[in-house]
Amino acid sequence: MRDALRPGLERRGLLGGLLIGLLMLSGCLSPLAMHQAVLEYDRTVSRVEAEMLLLNVARTRHFHPTHFTALSSVAATFEFSTTAGLAPAQAGLTKTLISPIFGATAAEKPTMTIIPIQGEEFTSRILTPFDEDKVAFLFQQRLEPALILRLMSRELVLSGYGEAAILQNDPSHTKEYPEFRRRALHLSSLYLSRDLFVGPIVYEETFPFGFTRELSTDETVENLDKILRVLEKGYQWIHGPKGEVTLSRRVIGRIVITNYDPSMLTNQERQQIALEAGKGPRNAILVDIQPGYPGGEYPMRGMFIFRSFHSILQFLANGIAAVPEYHVEKDVRTGEIARNPPWTISIEESDSRPPDAAFAVGYEDRWYSIRKAPRATGTIQPWNQVAFRVLSQLYQMTVTEVSKVPTPSITIAK
**How many domains, in total, are found in the chain?**
3
Query: Cβ distance 349 to 366 under 8 Å?
Result: yes
**Is residue 216 domain-shared with residue 289, that is, in the same domain?**
no
The parent domain of residue 370 ranges over 130-203+255-409
Residue 322's Cβ-side half-sphere holds a number of Cα atoms within 13 Å equal to 12
Residue 214 located in a structural domain: yes
Q: Is residue 3 part of a domain?
A: no
For 328, list phi and psi in degrees, rounded to 5.
-130, 125
18 pLDDT exceeds 60?
A: no
Angle at 330 between CA 191 and CA 61, to 5 degrees: 95
Query: Would you say residue 15 lies in a domain?
Result: no
Are residues 218 and 76 part of one domain?
no
* pLDDT reported for residue 5: 44
Same domain? 218 vs 358? no
In a shared domain, residues 318 and 399: yes
Alpha helices in 236-356 (DSSP H): 267-278, 309-320
Give the model confidence (pLDDT) of 114-130 as tens digits.
677 777 777 888 899 99
Mean pLDDT, residues 183-191 taken together: 97
Examine the domain organization and report whether 197 and 346 are in the same domain: yes
Contact between 353 and 367 (Cβ < 8 Å): yes
Do residues 222 and 197 both lie within one domain?
no
Taking only the tens place, the pLDDT of each residue in 360-375 is 999 999 999 999 887 7
* 3-state DSSP assignment of residue 342: coil
Please say which residue of 69, 86, 117 terminates a domain.
117
Q: Are residues 191 and 297 in the same domain?
A: yes
**Coil, helix or strand at residue 117:** strand
**pLDDT tens digits for 122-158?**
788 889 999 999 999 999 988 999 999 999 999 999 9
HSE (CB half, 13 Å, CA atoms) of 250? Answer: 5
216-229 pLDDT, tens digit each: 555 555 555 666 56
On whether both 199 and 80 belong to a single domain, the answer is no
Between these two residues, 100 and 250, which has the higher pLDDT value? 250
3-class DSSP assignment, residue 118: coil
Whether residue 242 is found in the same domain as residue 259: no
